[in-house]
């Protein structure tokens, strides 16, 4: 974070918006996440309830997924587009901060869990895609995100069950 005053940062802020490119790119990326959410609602309708897309902040656009098992543990998954990294992540989230802390402590040995510090918004944030996403091929992107989600969510659910 910058130590400069808000007023001193305004010219750079205005400059970032001046061409309109930032706004168009942000809107297009939110659209990608919205399309993924629609696909997830269809593809996983018997496995997960899929919440609406949330994009109130410029850093993350995401939607939640929850099944009965996760709900019983006061947990949910978040399919998150991290704008700074321009990539997708799968987050394990607690219903409250106390639940997140409980599972962060319980899962400290897992490969996605930073044993030194819990993330601000989740128990852990697992990268979903190894390579940079190809945003120009929507069908391929959707298939890649879905296949990686399939594998990762199974691994996460197995980890949670094994930790009981």
Task: Tell me the C-alpha to C-alpha distance, in Å, between residue 152 and each of 51, 52, 112, 122, 126.
Answer: 19, 21, 11, 16, 9
Q: Which residues of the chain have a pLDDT value below 70?
A: 1-2
> What are the start-end ranges of the E strands in the chain?
49-50, 60-66, 75-82, 87-94, 124-127
- What are the tokens at 76? 């949910």
Indicate the pTM of the whole model: 0.91
Query: What pLDDT is recorded for position 46?
Result: 96
Query: What pLDDT is recorded for position 58?
Result: 86
Query: What pLDDT is recorded for position 87?
Result: 95
Mapping DSSP to helix (H, G, I), strand (E, B) and coil, where does residue 147 land?
helix
Query: What pLDDT is recorded for position 1?
Result: 60
Most distant pair of Cα atoms in the chain: their distance: 53
């Amino acid at each position: 974070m910058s130590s400069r005053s808000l007023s001193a940062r305004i010219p750079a802020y205005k400059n970032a918006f001046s061409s309109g490119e930032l706004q168009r790119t942000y809107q297009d990326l939110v659209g990608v996440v919205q399309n993924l959410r629609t696909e997830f609602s269809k593809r996983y309708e018997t496995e997960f309830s899929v919440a609406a897309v949330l994009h109130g902040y410029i850093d993350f656009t995401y939607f939640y997924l929850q099944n009965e098992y996760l709900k019983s543990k006061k947990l949910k998954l978040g399919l998150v587009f991290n704008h700074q990294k321009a990539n997708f992540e799968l987050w394990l989230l607690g219903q409250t901060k106390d639940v997140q802390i409980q599972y962060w402590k319980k899962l400290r040995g897992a490969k996605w869990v930073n044993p030194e510090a819990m993330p601000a918004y989740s128990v852990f944030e697992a990268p979903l895609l190894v390579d940079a996403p190809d945003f120009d091929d929507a069908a391929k992107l959707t298939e890649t995100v879905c296949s990686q989600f399939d594998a990762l969510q199974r691994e996460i659910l197995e980890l949670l069950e094994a930790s009981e």
